[in-house]
Structure 1
Amino acid sequence: MHTNTVYFPTLEAIKKAATTLEGVAAKTPLDKNLRLSKEYQAEIYLKREDLQIVRSYKIRGAYNKIQSLTAIQKANGIVCASAGNHAQGVAYSCKELEIHGTIFMPAPTPKQKVEQVAMFGENFVEIVLIGDTYDDSYKAAIQQCTEQKKTFVHPFDDEKVIEGQGTVGLELIDQLVEPLDYLFVPVGGGGLSAGVSSVFKQLSPKTKVIGVEPLGAPSMLTSITNNVNTELETVDKFVDGASVKRVGDLTFAICKENLYKMVTVPEGKVCQTILEMYNKDAVVVEPAGALSISVLDFFKEEIKGKRVACIVSGSNNDITRTPEIKEKALLYANLKHYFIVRFPQRAGALKEFVAEILGPDDDITYFEYSKKINRENGPAVVGIELKSESDLKPLVERMKARKFYGDYLNNNPDLFEFLI
């Protein structure tokens, strides 16, 4: 698909994209966040791409690409594959430019995202739900492109898309009074990081641009480490906006040269950030949008006293996922623990467990007997939420001393997934 010459987006091309996007993509605010600034003793700014009309930066690349097509390509229509934000950007662009688009989405895509795509595209888009993963949708989309001579709008591995996403970088530089020391950018397929890092490389070369991926989908980090674009065998799809098995060839080549560093963040940490941003700042971020803020914890010594910006890439969070987000956050913080509890064969064992084994602030959040018969003596799977991490050791000691301890499930992922 691509030649061997490495493509780097020029400032002229990105400035041209900015002109194309005038009146379509919002110039999003760069807000200083007082809470984070105080917490990290640094100047922390958030580039609020979650405030775009489609609630993510994806409108920039999608519109820039579709607008650049020839009259014949526009007449034939376009196709894309996306699990969410790119689909919304494409749908909105199709309606604005009055071009017909077919959008392939994986069947498990949250209903809220499918409805948003339909709302933005109106009668200019057709949505096809197919396959279990983005890769399945991608294959179906490419097939239709080939058969019907339509243009495929790639979510990240495309020059015009990268140039469109690069406009986030131009705006950032424009909004800053003084240069940044650090810029944290979420990375999925690499379109945003490729575009933005190209701008900073040319206009603010001293800024350390750091790419952030979910721990369960480190495709860019793996590729940069291997010095070759590497496809991962499996990915954890929780951070759906940034979980790709393989980054773009174009984006890999650019990020390899431009990024100061590539790092990963555990999914549980991302969940903590989502809850904190909502509860403390009244800001809704999706998992991918929380990556750049989540990573601050791992750089707290380095960024002290520095000027730092985090790109908040999107806010398309499905509210039905809140219990899962809370659970992952508690597990990550070591406040939620699952045990197999074996009740001793003595009268009142359950009452004894609740009254004497549990600490005053411990809460049972999950309880299920493993056998439906012989309940009094059968083992049970018990989920316990603690007030403090330090409450775990004494709890386990009390369970062992009184012969209640069966097994600890948090460290046993296979059994954990099976039982919970």
Structure 2
Amino acid sequence: MDTLLAKDQIYKPKLEAVREAAQRISKVVLKTPLAESFTYSKRFQANVMLKREDLQQVRSYKIRGAYNKISSLTQDQLKKGVICASAGNHAQGVAFACNKLEVNGVIYMPITTPRQKVEQTQMFGGEWVKVILKGDTYDDSFKSAMKHMDKFGLVFIHPFDDEKVIEGQATIALEILEQVDVPIDYVFAPLGGGGLLAGLSTVFKQLSPKTKIIGVEPAGAASMSTSLKEGKIVELPFIERFVDGAAVQKVGSRNFAICKENLDDMITVPEGKICQTILDLYNQDAIVVEPAGAMALSALDQYAEEIKGKNVVCMVSGSNNDITRTAEIKERALLYAGIKHYFIISFPQRAGALKEFVAKVLGPNDDITHFEYSKKHHRENGPAVVGIELSDPADFGPLVERMKKKNFYGEYLNDKPNLFQFLV
């Protein structure tokens, strides 16, 4: 779609179509709670409400768009079968819909997709779907799926750049507005390809025009932010794949056109901050979320002053998190907080050097969490990779000063991603 078309030529979900979608999906999609978060309400002195799409049957809102699209196909299209590409949540929505509607489906997923999401997709689809792992990113899987579609004549179910998918996601906005008895001042929602915010923002602009709609995406995959700044769709050459549910190199053309007109702000949040939010939600509220599901809440710090005393809705978009990622999530959170640091330490090749480092360089509350050393030469000093966890970020400066004073300091690794990626 040409994003330079006149405004009256740009596709926008019509309320009638969204209401039809709500009716079409009502038998399989749960009306999820809109619950006040006491933790975040107190922290930000606001009425913060969570739209709990993590409680859907497939543990994300993606079932809305997928089911609405597939159930709207003709009988001839359904007989041909469907195909999609997804980093996980859309795949589960498509798989569930295929099983429910008894439609054959082929689902392409990146090889890097967490195993939990692959297994869940296979479980929801049963005998009706075939899962194919291909490529390192969603965009790689998408290209492979398109080739498969052309070869076998299947109907492609796009995860975000499709009118019926957008209308399905927009049903969330109808639910939110039905569930509140106060005016909503702000809505924060995650953005990957843009389908959710395209639909949600269109409904709010018609039914609650004073509500400010804030899009949130990961700093390492800021495809919409970059595109909005450039005034055109930009395909990012490289993205950080950690937030797999929102890591796309290129947003949808329909969604870009809608978001360009409807969003009041488009912001990014660091992956480390997202990890800290995941841990906070689990430890404080017993809510399990995936990285994309934590993005909206992770953005509230950037709006702390604006939302005081306001009614705020945050989308908790999904909970498909693989427990094997917990260690990485904790590590990234500690790094973001300035508590975990990695160094190359230059140890003198003499007895007692390590003891001196522990006794005279480390602070009383500092802890060594990683130590990698191998003596392979007879030089005066030998390097070791050391990970140190602090109790307070303010202890970092004094620690480095002591290292240098005692001639242990070699190199700081946290800000050297090409080296640091081997440690995390």
Same fold (TM over 0.5): yes
Residue deviations 1:174-195 (CA, integer Å, cap 9, x gap): 0011111110010000000000
Asked if 1:107 corresponds to 2:116, the answer is no
Shift of 1:370: 5.4
Written as runs of structure 1 = structure 2, the 5 A alignment for 1:10-25 is 10-25=14-29
Indicate the SS of the match to 1:382: strand
Asked if 1:378 corresponds to 2:382, the answer is yes
Q: Among 133, 139, 146, which residue is 1:135 paired with?
A: 139
Asked if 1:94 corresponds to 2:79, the answer is no
Question: What residue identity is the alignment partner of 2:311?
Answer: R
Asked if 1:392 corresponds to 2:396, the answer is yes
How many Å separate the matches in 2 of 1:322 and 1:360? 28
Asked if 1:52 corresponds to 2:56, the answer is yes
How many Å separate the matches in 2 of 1:167 and 1:114? 26
Shift of 1:87: 0.3
Quote the residue 2:224 is aligned against.
220
Indicate the SS of the match to 1:326: helix
How many Å separate the matches in 2 of 1:102 and 1:374? 59
In the alignment, is the contact (CA less than 8 A) between 1:74 and 1:99 conserved in 2?
yes
Quote the residue 1:8 is aligned against.
12
How many Å separate the matches in 1 of 2:283 and 2:58? 23
Indicate the SS of the match to 1:107: coil
Shift of 1:372: 4.2
Indicate the SS of the match to 1:99: coil
Q: Among 242, 245, 254, which residue is 1:250 paired with?
A: 254
Shift of 1:291: 0.3
Residue deviations 1:281-309 (CA, integer Å, cap 9, x gap): 10001000000000001111111111101
Alignment RMSD, CA only?
1.5
Change (3 A) 1:356 1:201: same
Shift of 1:367: 0.5
Runs of 5+ consecutive residues of structure 1 not aligned to the other structure: none
Asked if 1:152 corresponds to 2:159, the answer is no
Q: Among 338, 341, 345, which residue is 1:337 paired with?
A: 341
Residue deviations 1:157-182 (CA, integer Å, cap 9, x gap): 00000000000000000001111111
In the alignment, is the contact (CA less than 8 A) between 1:45 and 1:309 conserved in 2?
yes
Shift of 1:378: 1.1
TM-score of the pair, normalised by structure 1: 0.97
In the alignment, is the contact (CA less than 8 A) between 1:369 and 1:375 conserved in 2?
no
Indicate the SS of the match to 2:382: coil
How many Å separate the matches in 2 of 1:281 and 1:326? 17
Quote the residue 1:34 is aligned against.
38
Indicate the SS of the match to 2:309: coil
Shift of 1:395: 1.1
Residue deviations 1:106-149 (CA, integer Å, cap 9, x gap): 12222211110111011111111122221221112111211211
Question: What residue identity is the alignment partner of 2:397?
Answer: K
Q: How many residues align?
A: 420
Quote the residue 1:281 is aligned against.
285
How many Å separate the matches in 2 of 1:58 and 1:288? 12
Runs of 5+ consecutive residues of structure 2 not aligned to the other structure: none
Quote the residue 1:71 is aligned against.
75
Residue deviations 1:229-278 (CA, integer Å, cap 9, x gap): 11111111111100100000000001111111100000000000000001
How many Å separate the matches in 2 of 1:320 and 1:114? 14
Quote the residue 1:61 is aligned against.
65
How many Å separate the matches in 2 of 1:414 and 1:144? 35
Residue deviations 1:183-239 (CA, integer Å, cap 9, x gap): 001000000000000110000000000000000111111111111111111111111
In the alignment, is the contact (CA less than 8 A) between 2:349 and 2:382 conserved in 1?
no
Quote the residue 1:206 is aligned against.
210
